[in-house]
Structure 1
Amino acid sequence: MATPTVIAHRGYAGVAPENTLEAAAVAADDDRTSMLEIDVQPAACGTPVVIHDERLEGTRDGRPLTDGSGHVWETPLEELRETHVLGTDATVPTLEAFLESIPETMGVNVELKNPGTTDVRFAEALPADEREERREVWTPFVDRVVDACEAFGGEILFSSFCEGALAALRDVAPRYPAATLVWHDLEAGLEITRRYDCEAIHPPRNVILGTGLEQTTYAGFSGEAIPGIDVLEEAHREGRTVNVWTVTTWNQFEALAAAGVDGIIADYPGLGSFSDA
């Protein structure tokens, strides 16, 4: 059984405050990790910062997301730099600072999360007459993100749930590989992947057939209806990489590895160690 690439979800969010320099250090110190996955949005000035949620308030597993409030993109950069994550001393980093903190031997999957609007057309395959408009919405932010990535000498993979983000990336920096993130519609995900000739597709863990996980509820899939598309077979036939999210246990990891996925986005380090023993 081939060992999939291990991608640290938000910098192993299961053991460190997600999307922070501290999480980056945890992932980079583990030699089983090939890539970090992070989320980017703009601060009020447009500078890309590394954070998942649109708003600073809220909770994650009973902890406050941050000690701030309001939309990320309406918050001044200096305020974000002093905003504490999940009740820890870790703060919201800029994308530039995050990339500077990790070795160039570590790849980075940069998820284009939000360009600074509540209207992102999440996980939709857009009709032809709307694609240009959505590309234009994303282009200024994607420009800033690409600029921040230019100095990093390691591997960069961009991904997004939003077609407009992938359209903007192909226009701004087609030299970078891209991946479509899938939420609730495999057919739409494959359509977007083909439209922009994405090098990869990132489906949730419970749509990979033959693992048993397809009978469980996760992300936008209920588990009540087995997916009618073999996304792994389709993508591999077209020469695309399949990286699956988000794995939290060793047995999920083992089942997905046995199915032949290329990469596993994981919340914890070492989930593949039992299979390797």
Structure 2
Amino acid sequence: MTDPVVIAHRGYAGVAPENTVAAAERAAADPDTAMLEVDVQPAADGTPVVFHDARLDGVRDGRPLTDAEGRVWETPLSDLRETRVLGTDQQVPTLADLFEAVPATVGVNVELKNPGTADLRPGESLPEAERETRRDLWAPFVERVVADCDAFAGEVLLSSFCEGALAAARDVAPEYAAAALVRNDLESGLAVARRYDCEAVHPPRNAVAGTALAAGSDAGPAGGKPSVDVLAVAHEEGRTVNVWTVENWVQFDDLAAAGVDGIIADYPGLGRVGGSE
């Protein structure tokens, strides 16, 4: 049984409006929170803003995601600053705004979600001939993100599902730790992690072999045994394994028993109940 660090998914999206300053402040105040996880993409002027979906007019559990519409990267920053999230008084923040709200004692996992394009190609291990092009696509946005990260006194971890984002992060800011986010293709995710010598791998909760969760198909490999023991392989290669996204204490306990290093959770306090307290 390990004592995994707790990473607040979008600022504990299960109890607060995701990716907002209020969520970040609440999560950072919880004594169990080691790190916040947030998603970033550009406003129309390239300013990094904290938002998950490509469009503002999505839905979460039947509730409008915001009171606006359109693609995030086509929306002026001034409009985003007035956009309300999930029917609350919280606005879409800039990454700089969010960093100002987080104490240096809490780390921030900045997920590079989108550089401002509909052509993302997440989860792919790219052919060698395409890697430079995809890196160059991401580089201008990553440079803006890193400039905001440099103003934060705490720990920063850059992660992405997109190889181009990780390639740009390694070029622009090799001093920051990086994590390869993995979904369906575990082998490809591990290959990308090796290519950029990522300090961490972030697999879905049902990708950890030997757990009850491994039979699920809600994320990652569909049904049955994972094709590779991503936890064992990553640890053998010296990489940290942070698993996403955990929603209850039973899942937390199962993954802690398996030996994961970190758990990206939607709710606070999951490690204080059950067998992992």
Length-normalised TM-score, structure 2: 0.98
Aligned pairs for 1:214-253 (under 5 A) are: 214-223=214-223, 225-253=224-252
Query: Displacement of 1:217 after TM fit?
Result: 1.3
Match of 1:18 in 2: 18
Match of 1:273 in 2: 272
2:150 counterpart of 1:178: no
**Distance in 1 between the 2:84 and 2:62 partners?**
15
Match of 2:119 in 1: 119
Deviating runs (4+, > 4 A) in structure 1?
none
Query: Displacement of 1:276 after TM fit?
Result: 4.5
**Distance in 1 between the 2:227 and 2:87 partners?**
42
**Distance in 2 between the 1:198 and 1:126 partners?**
16
Match of 2:49 in 1: 49
**Distance in 2 between the 1:151 and 1:58 partners?**
31
- Contact 2:2/2:260 (8 A) holds in 1: no
**Distance in 1 between the 2:100 and 2:250 partners?**
34
2:112 counterpart of 1:107: no
SS at match of 1:272: helix
**Distance in 2 between the 1:45 and 1:252 partners?**
41
Q: Name structure 1 gaps, 5 residues minimum.
A: none
2:89 counterpart of 1:89: yes
**Distance in 2 between the 1:82 and 1:25 partners?**
20
Match of 1:263 in 2: 262
* Percent of paired sites with the same residue: 67
SS at match of 2:270: coil
Query: Displacement of 1:2 after TM fit?
Result: 2.2
Residue-by-residue CA offset, 1:114-142 (whole Å, 9 max, x unaligned): 00000011110000000000000000000
Query: Higher mean Cα deviation, 241-250 or 208-217?
Result: 208-217
SS at match of 1:57: coil
RMSD value, Cα: 0.8
Length-normalised TM-score, structure 1: 0.98
Aligned pairs for 1:75-86 (under 5 A) are: 75-86=75-86
- Corresponding letter in the other structure for 2:249: W
Q: Name structure 2 gaps, 5 residues minimum.
A: none
Residue-by-residue CA offset, 1:70-121 (whole Å, 9 max, x unaligned): 0000000010011000111111000000000010000000000000000011
- Aligned pairs, how many? 276
